Amino acid sequence: MGKIKSQIEQKLEIKLDWSIQVILLSALILLVWTILKLVGVINTPLLLQMVPYVAGFTALASFAIACGKVLQKMEFFGKDLEQVKNDVKELRFDFRDLEKDMVRVKTKVDIS
């Protein structure tokens, strides 16, 4: 499984954490079950007919977890962006002071 995971990560250029792996596995189970059901291989009792529902629910739950992680990262990004904005404002004030100091130095040294 690790070799397949690394090959998928290289081709898709994304990191597959456990929630993405669960989504892909659930989708694969659902696809295989649907194909076998259409072909007529699966003529089973109710317990096995519940497989697509369980796989679908698992895929949706994993997708919700993955979306939650992305939203959490976006929230942290927003906080970091606010900090950067505050730092830029402070730098503007520092540059204004530096500019005033440079004018004073130029007038004392008599440089135009």
Confidence band for 2, pLDDT divided at 50, 70 and 90: low
pLDDT at 64: 85
Please state the domain extents for the chain.
2-109
The model's confidence at residue 28, banded by pLDDT at 50, 70 and 90, is confident
Q: Whole-angstrom Cα distance, residue 4 to residue 1? A: 5
Rg of the chain on CA atoms, in Å: 29
Long-range contacts of residues 94-97, Cβ cutoff 8 Å, at least 24 apart: none
Q: In this predicted model, what pLDDT tens digit does every residue of 52-80 receive, in sequence order?
A: 788 888 888 888 888 888 888 888 888 88
CA 6, 10, 14, 15: dihedral to nearest 10 degrees? Answer: 20
Q: How far is CA 85 from the centre of its chain?
A: 23
Residues 6+ apart with CB under 8 A from 58: 22, 26
The pLDDT assigned to 26 comes to 81
Is the whole model's pTM more than 0.85, yes or no?
no
